[in-house]
Structure 1
């Protein structure tokens, strides 16, 4: 049923073949329907739990819609190309796929001019999706994508044995100041590094600053910062607290450490705490580090009822004339993605959280089920800054540049504060 072929097959023949489908897709907006269209969906989930999850999703769709001709295509990236580059190239050549995977929110800006909403009208998203999720699937006020899964970025992982040795109770940490005290205690009572942190990629530090800001000043101050409507004092406090953590409590070789390296420090018992998103759980388990026995996790201190989101979605792309190559099939696909069955199949395999609140978690493993409860119980659902939900990718890049230049030993806190504010307001 599926016609799977290499992502590199953007040949002249392919462009000629799809030209008619594109024109017919535009005609579909006027009432006509292309003959025997194919549903072509692009994604970049090529390995591990992500590949298993998208296979469960697409298999479920094909079972539910056996008469649909499908091409679910994982994109293999080579050289300096990225998945986003491949998709953008297709769009600019007038050859949009039926749909493609994307981050929602600010990340949708990279596809400006090529996002339609024709297949997403008339209540495409039910109220089972929380308001913040639906809002971040809009661009210029139009619903241009449907959500698939959400992950939390404001998590604090820890090694069970080391915190017990230090006499620290992670559940009792209610503020970032409490965390600083705990880090001091770990340093004095154990030989472990208090916090594992990789500074090779500035987004890890950007995520830490955002978590500290939320923990110290709350969701309203965080929103004011992102909206360019104040928040300077909250940013300053967050930067100063983060500087104390990075100057005193992380491993000496942090400049060469990435996210994986930081997780390894926790697994090997060489570090106590780790601030990452809940995707770190998969890596910890893959190393044989057992949830609840070897490691556990709490919300970053001060953010218990706040859920900082990374949101994956599928978009409705169009060509320059506003046409999608398979409008009716694309609408069917997006309806399945946003529905209970599609979300259950994908998120149960990936260990992520459905964006619907009515999906059964009976088949979810314990950590994932706990993450779902945290999402549903949250008082505030806020967009992640470091992962491109809060602002567009260009502004994320500007913020990362600020950290490279001013926040990596020696630390220039004042330049960092002003630079972050300017980057977000741009």
Structure 2
């Protein structure tokens, strides 16, 4: 991952910051001046409130999507001084946001995942997003799951910008062809394990890349296996009511078998970037991951169709597991946003059809709006958009905090880290996860 500082190609009225070493040295927030040092203010910033937007997208491909979104905003709003902060460095993004809100010094807006994640910030969110939903009539062009995930206590508190699919299975075309495996024919997790056996027996590739550094990827894999074996009803019963105990145990058994037999010995130290690279170098046959992975594969010059392909995680065809990026409008203790006019303009821009089309064209996500033409999209994103719009169900992601409250997600991550990171204690993990949702 990279951080970003001054870029001479950017507009001079724009303030670009990064939270890494530059911040530690006191340089973050400085505006490049093209070398002018004579104090001439004839090229001063235009008057107007500064729009400060925080986001976590620092990797090159994802930053490109954000850059497209912000550049279009600046072109349409030349009177607004902008400060787009791409978080990096040692301070986790969530912690940075929390510190600002706790200090009663919120930014104008910040990116966050919707659903249960909004509960973390509920006391600090204003009604600006709700007004945008009404002005843009987003309810008429948004699936019900999108509306529900952006709503808290009857108010729409987030403006969605990109919908990722979490139940996706990527594969190396070369490896699966060598193994004689057809990913499109895999209709259950059991059939997937049969394919993994085939890869292990006939090729030198790792059957499955899986990043176990941190517990979220394993929690996501478990959720996908649960969806694949017992369907959306069992998943919903588990996350909402702490039920479906037998389905949860069965899904954990399958997940444990996959992680015990088909991933590399160093999976515990593997992060998503390394897992992606192993697929892009044909060292792994399969990678169960969210659709944001497509961005990294493209960046590796790994071509869709020729080099890699993807299918819904076996057993989940017709299901679109949702991770949803959005922007919100925080307020201080007096209920005021630091730049109401600029923030309103920003949220209207995020909600705009053209903005969502250009942003998602560069990401592994689709526009939450269903009235947007797919004409600029590549084949992968066009197919993914169709799957999103025609899905039978769109369950919110467990691993990304959309399906459960923040404290529940934290407790689940602890259960997985302590009981299901090798060896894989199915009974203790099942009881721990069920207790979390049972007491939620």
Same fold by TM-score, threshold 0.5 exceeded?
Answer: yes
Q: Distance in 2 between matches of 1:95 and 1:375?
A: 37
Do structure 1's residue 380 and structure 2's residue 397 form an aligned pair?
A: no
Do structure 1's residue 295 and structure 2's residue 305 form an aligned pair?
A: no
Q: TM-score, normalised by structure 2?
A: 0.85
Other-structure match for 1:44:
56
Deviation at 1:208, TM superposition (A): 0.6
Q: Distance in 2 between matches of 1:38 and 1:265?
A: 43
Deviation at 1:144, TM superposition (A): 1.0
Other-structure match for 1:242:
255
Give the secondary-structure state (helix, strand or coil) at the position aligned to 2:111: strand
Give the secondary-structure state (helix, strand or coil) at the position aligned to 2:395: strand
Contact 2:129/2:159, CA 8 A, preserved across alignment: no
Other-structure match for 1:28:
none
Deviation at 1:327, TM superposition (A): 2.6
Q: Distance in 2 between matches of 1:85 and 1:48?
A: 22
Give the secondary-structure state (helix, strand or coil) at the position aligned to 2:54: strand
- Let me know the Cα RMSD of the aligned residues: 2.2
Do structure 1's residue 200 and structure 2's residue 240 form an aligned pair?
A: no
Contact 1:2/1:70, CA 8 A, preserved across alignment: yes
1:87 to 83, 97, 109: 97
Greater Cα shift, 413-422 or 392-401: 392-401
Other-structure match for 1:19:
none
Contact 2:61/2:296, CA 8 A, preserved across alignment: no
Give the secondary-structure state (helix, strand or coil) at the position aligned to 1:123: helix
Change (3 A) 1:179 1:166: same
Which runs of structure 2 are paired with 1:202-281 in the superposition (5 Å)?
202-281=215-294
Contact 2:165/2:365, CA 8 A, preserved across alignment: no
Residue-by-residue CA offset, 1:50-79 (whole Å, 9 max, x unaligned):
222122112222333334x13232244333
Which runs of structure 2 are paired with 1:52-63 in the superposition (5 Å)?
52-63=64-75
* Long gaps (5+) in structure 2: 1-11, 25-46
Deviation at 1:317, TM superposition (A): 0.8
Q: Distance in 1 between matches of 2:139 and 2:67?
A: 24
Contact 1:197/1:257, CA 8 A, preserved across alignment: yes
1:120 to 106, 130, 133: 130
Greater Cα shift, 400-409 or 376-385: 400-409
Residue-by-residue CA offset, 1:314-357 (whole Å, 9 max, x unaligned):
10211122222233432232122112021112112334211111
Q: Distance in 2 between matches of 1:424 and 1:259?
A: 27
Contact 2:129/2:156, CA 8 A, preserved across alignment: no
Q: 1 or 2 for the larger relative contact order (CA 8 Å, sep ≥6)?
A: 1
Q: Distance in 2 between matches of 1:240 and 1:378?
A: 28
Contact 1:199/1:257, CA 8 A, preserved across alignment: yes
Give the secondary-structure state (helix, strand or coil) at the position aligned to 2:207: strand
Q: TM-score, normalised by structure 1?
A: 0.88
Aligned length: 400
Contact 1:151/1:279, CA 8 A, preserved across alignment: yes
2:336 to 310, 320, 323: 323
Residue-by-residue CA offset, 1:354-378 (whole Å, 9 max, x unaligned):
1111112211222222221221121
Other-structure match for 2:77:
65
* Long gaps (5+) in structure 1: 11-34
Other-structure match for 2:183:
170
Deviation at 1:111, TM superposition (A): 1.4
Q: Distance in 2 between matches of 1:408 and 1:95?
A: 39
Greater Cα shift, 363-372 or 230-239: 363-372
Q: Distance in 1 between matches of 2:17 and 2:173?
A: 45
Q: Distance in 1 between matches of 2:64 and 2:220?
A: 27
